[in-house]
């Protein structure tokens, strides 16, 4: 049985496909700007993830549906996707030489089996001190405008990272190991790997 990924992120699909899971991709219809940015980062992230799921669940009641949202947090300030080049440069300069937090909130609903769960995952990432030339090259070459915090750890910006504490896949946008533990808990996976029972 297939499952639905309520996401516009090609990275989340790639993470799942690496482990033999091929979701049905459906873009969410949730207005992320409707959430108050003054909330605590974890709550803010979870509300967006939940909103994404609820925006598509009525179209897929016979399927398991997963949604996720990832944010970057530094000094209690949420860094979302940059709005333009200057914003991307500003974010990367802000992260340079410092440790930041990556939070991903995940929501799951399978109405036919009355299964619901949600969780958040946190990963700490420390950047090296970045040269302006490195930052400019990255922004010009990789156009990180669809990435929270203006970087994707799976591409060239991996060289920015001095250390990481926690789940690598969480920084990419989907904490795969924790998600898999929930799948096992609710008897949603079989081997060869399949989801949905």
Q: Name the residues annotated as catalytic.
A: 69
CB neighbour burial string for 165-193, b if at least 16 within 10 angstroms, e if fewer? eebbbbbbbbbbebbbebbeeeebbeeee
Q: Phi first, then psi: give them for residue 187, nearest 5 degrees.
A: 55, 45
Q: Are 90 and 97 in contact (CB under 8 A)?
A: no
Q: How far apart are CA 152 and CA 161, in angstroms?
A: 11
Other CB atoms within a 10 A radius of the CB of residue 134 amount to 17
CA 66 to mean position of chain CA atoms: 12
Of the candidates 167, 159, 76, 83, the one whose C-alpha atom is nearest the C-alpha of residue 121 is 167
- As a whole number of angstroms, the distance between CA 180 and CA 147 comes to 24
């Amino acid at each position: 049985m297939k499952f639905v990924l309520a996401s516009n992120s090609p990275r989340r699909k790639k993470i799942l496909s690496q482990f033999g899971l091929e979701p049905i991709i459906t873009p969410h219809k949730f207005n992320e700007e409707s959430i108050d940015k003054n909330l605590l980062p974890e709550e803010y992230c979870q509300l967006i993830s939940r909103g994404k799921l609820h925006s598509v669940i009525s179209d897929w009641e016979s399927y398991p549906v997963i949604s996720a949202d990832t944010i970057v947090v530094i000094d209690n300030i949420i860094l979302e996707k940059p709005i333009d080049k200057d914003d991307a440069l500003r974010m990367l300069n802000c992260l340079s030489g410092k440790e930041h937090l990556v939070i991903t909130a995940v929501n799951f609903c399978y109405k036919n089996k009355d299964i619901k769960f949600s969780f958040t995952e946190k990963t700490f990432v420390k950047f090296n001190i970045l040269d302006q030339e490195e930052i400019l090259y990255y922004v010009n070459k990789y156009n990180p405008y669809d990435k929270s915090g203006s970087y994707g750890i799976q591409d060239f910006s991996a060289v920015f990272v001095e250390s990481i504490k926690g789940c690598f896949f969480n920084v990419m946008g989907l904490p795969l190991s924790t998600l898999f533990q929930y799948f096992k808990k609710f008897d949603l996976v079989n081997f060869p790997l399949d989801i949905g029972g």
